[in-house]
Amino acid sequence: MQIQDLPFPDPGVPDARSGPRFLWWLFRNQLGGQLKSLAWGLLHFASVSALPFCVGLAIQAVVDGSGSRLAVAGGLMALCCAGNALGDTFLHRAAVTNWITAAARVQQLLARKTALLGSALTRRVAAGEVVAVSTGDVEKIGWFVEAVSRFTAAALTIVLVCVALVVYEPALGVVVVLGLPVLALAVLPLLPRATRRADVQREKAGRATELASDTVAGLRVLRGIGGEELFLDRYRAASQEVRHAAVRSARMWSLISAIQVLLPGLLLIAVVWHGVHLAREGRIGVGELVTVYSSVMLLTYPLRHFEEIAMAYSFSRPSAKRAARVLALERATDTAGSRPAEVPTGDLYDPETGLLAPSGRFTAVVCGDPDAAGRLAERLGGHPSEKGTSALLGGVPLDELPLEAARTAVLVQDKDPVLLSGTLRELLDVPSSGAVDAEDALAAAQCGDVLAALVQGSVGADDPLDARITERARSLSGGQRQRLALARSLITDPEALVLDEPTSAVDSHTEARIAQGVRSLREGRTTVVFTSSPLLLDRADRVVFLHEGKAAATGTHRDLLHGEPRYRAVVTRETDEESAAHRDTAVLDGGAPGDDVLHRDVLHRLEEIEETA
């Protein structure tokens, strides 16, 4: 696999049972690239390690006055230099390719999992953790995967050099063979502590990233309540914890690095001291001493890869663990689909609450518990409940449909839809039936002022669709973002559209026009709106009131307002005392308890807004 061939046609099915298993799976899936990197690494390290033998041969030839052997030594040295240059160049190329392709594979896996889970992902994993995994963790995982082959090449080279030294000069070779394992294994007792400190650092960094992400996302709200300094102090504290953890981790790695410098130096001193004694006794020649000395000195280079692989594993293991945790998440539906990939039609029904949204009708749902409403919206979107209950469309359980068919059948827009940066045309370029164009959807969502604001804020954009939207559309108000998100949902034109509080941030007059626009555009299509706004409720064909997790009452908004006190309390937000007082007032005025002054005022206000709109 080459970089130009990315992305992968199929990144594969990862082994997400644990971090180490995930790393091993990545290594196996890049076996060809790893073998290529290993071959170039062996050429590189072998060429470097052979240079001392060439130098020793040349020196001994000069001492013996042999011109032919000097010429042979020069030729071998030139061959080693060529092998070194060639091996180093292509080793770097192969290593970078392995790094990038491993990182790209992980990113593709994460993107596929995100698309599979949808909005359920951030409800099961913190948004900051997802950001950390898809950015910094991906690089660290790629680092370890590509470092394995270079470490293997370095280890094999060290073994070959040790064998060659024993054959070439046994007296000094034995000293090197006994000393090198000590050098390689001396830092092992320190690695668990270094790994723990690296884990703590990564954990604190992940929490700081999550805090920063949440702060930026809620910056507008924080400014509104004057909470910037409070969250800034929290981020400062989290940042300082990351700094302290990083310093503690760096101290341990600096100690490991110091040991990796000290011990080879001691081995070099021992080899020189013993070699000088052997040379004085005439047991070895000057060239042999130079060869062994140079070999030991150059062996510190491949030995450095022992430290690198330990560091790469220590940093990548928690990263791989986090990635595996995200990739192990499963959608609680039959994503492959046990039914044919046909989009069903008919009524949308939730067995757990008894909610029924008739086909082709505009149904509003009133629920006093926002969390319960959110869970119901998830079920209507094809996510079964903890009890395993799934919503049905036309009598077909949504979790038995293939994922693509389920998403074509039902679209759920949650309370906080995300608007990606780019042009408005790109934002509205979503899979759709083609029956609703952008102009009609924007008009129904009352986006006229939004388009004007986008054109004004974009240089050289005459067409509003070419105007650019900033990241998360933070340059727009909350109501403007809601309306753009609503227009995007309307364009998709699904069989059933579920909207969770789509107008909570807009004014009443705009809300009335949106209610009429959505009703007209979705004529003949199933639409479910979770809301407590009287303006939307009054436009609905039927209203379902949920109480304690069950559909407690069904009817029109005005009928429920008169006849269902619990519904009235949620919609008008009146307290029990206010409700009792209004009933008493109505009785004293000669009216029915359900036809009190407050409710007449509410209906009168609705009529005024409708006339103005």
Q: What is the pLDDT of residues 84-102, one digit of tens each?
A: 999 999 999 999 999 999 9
**Confidence band of 608 (pLDDT split at 50, 70, 90):** low
CB 110 within 8 A of CB 322: no
Rounded average pLDDT over 371-390:
83
CB 586 within 8 A of CB 595: yes
**Confidence band of 600 (pLDDT split at 50, 70, 90):** low
DSSP 474: T
Helix, strand or coil, per DSSP, at residue 333 = coil
The single-letter code of the amino acid at 302 is P
Per-residue pLDDT at 396: 87
C-alpha to C-alpha distance for 340 and 405, rounded to whole angstroms = 9
C-alpha to C-alpha distance for 73 and 67, rounded to whole angstroms = 10
**Residue among 611, 94, 551 nearest 355 (CA):** 551
Per-residue pLDDT at 211: 74
Per-residue pLDDT at 126: 67
Bridge-partner residues for 530, per DSSP? 365, 500
Whether the per-residue pLDDT at 601 is higher than 90: the answer is no
Per-residue pLDDT at 612: 56
Q: 470 is written with which tokens? A: 């900033």
C-alpha to C-alpha distance for 4 and 466, rounded to whole angstroms = 31
Q: 334 is written with which tokens? A: 């039959």
Residue 556 or residue 217, greater confidence:
556
CB 48 within 8 A of CB 84: yes
**Confidence band of 25 (pLDDT split at 50, 70, 90):** very high
Rounded average pLDDT over 283-310:
77
Which of 38-47, 182-191, 599-608 ranks highest by mean pLDDT? 38-47
C-alpha to C-alpha distance for 573 and 534, rounded to whole angstroms = 11
Go through the chain and tell me how many residues it has.
613
> Distances from the Cα of 171 to the Cαs of 51, 109, 168, 271, in angstroms?
21, 54, 9, 10
Give the contacts of 548 (CB within 8 A, at least 6 positions apart). Answer: none
Chain mean position to CA 531: 31
**Strands of 550-555's sheet in order across:** 410-413, 496-500, 526-530, 362-367, 542-547, 550-555
Handedness of CA 577, 578, 582, 583 (dihedral sign): negative
Per-residue pLDDT at 79: 93
Per-residue pLDDT at 544: 95
Per-residue pLDDT at 577: 55
Per-residue pLDDT at 530: 94
Say what angle helices 228-280 and 170-185 make with each other, to 10 degrees: 170
**Confidence band of 200 (pLDDT split at 50, 70, 90):** confident
**Confidence band of 553 (pLDDT split at 50, 70, 90):** very high
**Residue among 380, 386, 414 nearest 399 (CA):** 380
C-alpha to C-alpha distance for 502 and 504, rounded to whole angstroms = 6
Give the contacts of 334 (CB within 8 A, at least 6 positions apart). Answer: 399, 400, 401
Task: Point out the least confidently predicted range of 74-78, 126-130, 583-587.
Answer: 583-587
pLDDT-above-90 percentage for the chain:
23
> Distances from the Cα of 240 to the Cαs of 133, 246, 390, in angstroms?
21, 10, 46
CB 568 within 8 A of CB 574: yes
Rounded average pLDDT over 160-174:
82
State the average pLDDT for the chain: 82
**Confidence band of 272 (pLDDT split at 50, 70, 90):** confident
List pLDDT tens digits, range 577-593.
555 555 555 444 444 44
**Confidence band of 473 (pLDDT split at 50, 70, 90):** confident
Helix, strand or coil, per DSSP, at residue 65 = coil
Q: What are the helix (H) ranges across 169-283? A: 170-185, 191-217, 219-225, 228-280
Per-residue pLDDT at 574: 62
**Residue among 421, 397, 419 nearest 409 (CA):** 397
Upper half-sphere CA count for residue 494 (Cβ side, 13 Å): 27
What is the widest separation between alpha-carbon atoms in the chain?
A: 130
Give the contacts of 29 (CB within 8 A, at least 6 positions apart). Answer: 12, 105
> Distances from the Cα of 184 to the Cαs of 48, 101, 191, 306, 384, in angstroms?
19, 30, 12, 7, 53
Per-residue pLDDT at 39: 93
Residue 37 or residue 181, greater confidence:
37
List pLDDT tens digits, range 141-162.
888 988 998 899 988 988 888 8
Burial class (CB in 10 A: 0-12, 13-18, 19+), 197: buried
Burial class (CB in 10 A: 0-12, 13-18, 19+), 125: middle
C-alpha to C-alpha distance for 365 and 376, rounded to whole angstroms = 10
Q: Helix, strand, coil proportions of the chain in percent (round to 5)?
A: 70, 10, 25
Rounded average pLDDT over 260-282:
81
Kind plus residue range of the DSSP H or E element containing 551:
strand 550-555
Helix, strand or coil, per DSSP, at residue 55 = helix
Say what angle helices 286-327 and 67-117 make with each other, to 10 degrees: 10
CB 457 within 8 A of CB 467: yes
DSSP symbols for 30-52: THHHHHHHHHHHHHHHHHHHHHH
CB 510 within 8 A of CB 479: yes
Q: How would you write 341-355 as a 3-class SS string?
A: CCCCCCCEEECCCCE
List pLDDT tens digits, range 326-380.
888 876 554 454 555 577 888 999 999 999 999 999 999 999 888 888 889 888 8
Bridge-partner residues for 411, per DSSP? 497
Whether the per-residue pLDDT at 493 is higher than 70: the answer is yes
C-alpha to C-alpha distance for 210 and 214, rounded to whole angstroms = 6
Task: For Cα atoms 209, 212, 214, give the angle at the middle one, nearest 5 degrees.
Answer: 110
Kind plus residue range of the DSSP H or E element containing 538:
helix 534-539
C-alpha to C-alpha distance for 560 and 344, rounded to whole angstroms = 31
Whether the per-residue pLDDT at 594 is higher than 50: the answer is no
Name all domains of the chain by residue range, CATH numbers in brackets.
3-327 (1.20.1560.10), 348-420+477-573 (3.40.50.300)
CB 49 within 8 A of CB 161: yes
Per-residue pLDDT at 529: 95
Whether the per-residue pLDDT at 475 is higher than 80: the answer is no
Chain mean position to CA 273: 56
pLDDT-above-70 percentage for the chain:
86
